[in-house]
Amino acid sequence: AGQIANNERPSSSLVARILDESAQRTGHFHQRKSKYQAQLPKSDALQWDALEIDRFTESDVLAHSLGEAIADVATASAQLRTTIARLSR
């Protein structure tokens, strides 16, 4: 089922399901960021690649997942309208 990091589930089951489905499609698993997470030492920060994709906040993951869900609903709606139009002929 869910593979959210640190065994922490979001408070909403809908959010948890969206994150699980997004992780299955993209391979990017949700990582909850601690508000008190230590800053990287300067030497580590300089070595960090700006294109590294593993550094997302919870809000970033939720916004991305919501956008994907909206796109999926739009695609399904368009396909449903096409099918209904064909059946109505």
Distance CA 4, CA 29 (A): 6
Q: What pLDDT, on a 0 to 100 scale, did the predictor assign at position 33? A: 55
Q: What pLDDT, on a 0 to 100 scale, did the predictor assign at position 18? A: 79
Indicate if the pLDDT at residue 34 is higher than 60: no
Q: Provide the pLDDT confidence category of residue 15 given band limits of 50, 70 and 90.
A: confident
The two structure tokens encoding residue 18: 């969206």
Determine the average pLDDT of the residues in 1-26: 66
For 45, residues 6+ apart whose C-beta sits below 8 A from its C-beta are 39
Distance CA 66, CA 9 (A): 17
**Picking from 21-25, 49-53, 60-64, 69-73, which range would have the lowest pLDDT averaged per residue?**
49-53
User: Does the predicted TM-score (pTM) go above 0.75?
Assistant: no
The DSSP letter of residue 5 is G
Alpha helices of the chain — where are they, by DSSP H?
13-26, 42-47, 58-87
